[in-house]
Homo-oligomer: A and B are copies of this chain.
């Protein structure tokens, strides 16, 4: 997705440990025009699939999910994050490790908003090690919903998440795949 790649190149900031900050349009400040285009692009990438719901995790996934849901004419649901020690009697939970932040937390969705047989598209801002995405897939499975696929805005192609999901047979669509990133350069996969 060319406009997205241009924004990454012009506004992205590369930090140590392969951290890419896109706070100018995706993770802190939000550009509704770009988000609208992202929602349309995901709809295009998964055309022909019946999709009943878009699922993501707070907070950075919310804007992406709701614009994708708008383009698809369905509702979005965001999993909520809790400390790993939290216990739920109801709904669906999964543990997620954040390698960037060196923490583990729990994500949770109320059973009312993810139901058996629903066809679910997962979307998220980044795919690196695939922990968040696999956690969301886990919630979909627990709910006996059907996973349509995973839509990612920025995939770090040099980290194992993409391969992990694709080898699990999951249809992954990433709008920008970064092949290589160093202190002062960033290349996209073709």
Contact = CB atoms under 8 A, between A and B. Distances in A.
Contacts of A28: 77-78, 80, 109-110, 113
Interface of A: 23-25, 28-33, 35-36, 58-59, 62-63, 65-67, 69-70, 75-78, 80, 109-110, 112-113
Contact of A113 (B23, B67, B76): B23
A125 to B, nearest CB: 12
Contacts of A29: 75-77, 112-113
Contacts of A66: 30, 32, 35, 63, 66-67
Contact of A32 (B25, B59, B69): B69
Contacts of A58: 58-59
Nearest to A23: B110
Q: Which of A33, A62, A80 has the most CB of B within 10 A?
A: A62
Contacts of A23: 110, 112-113
Q: Which of A75, A112, A113 has the most CB of B within 10 A?
A: A75
A91 to B, nearest CB: 10
Contacts of A24: 112-113
23 contacts: A24-B112, A24-B113, A25-B75, A28-B77, A28-B78, A29-B76, A29-B77, A30-B65, A30-B75, A30-B77, A30-B78, A32-B66, A32-B67, A32-B70, A32-B75, A32-B76, A33-B70, A35-B66, A35-B70, A58-B58, A62-B62, A62-B63, A66-B67
A36 B70 contact: yes
Nearest to A91: B28
Given A36-B70, A112-B24, A30 B63 contact: no
A69 B112 contact: no
Contacts of A70: 32-33, 35-36
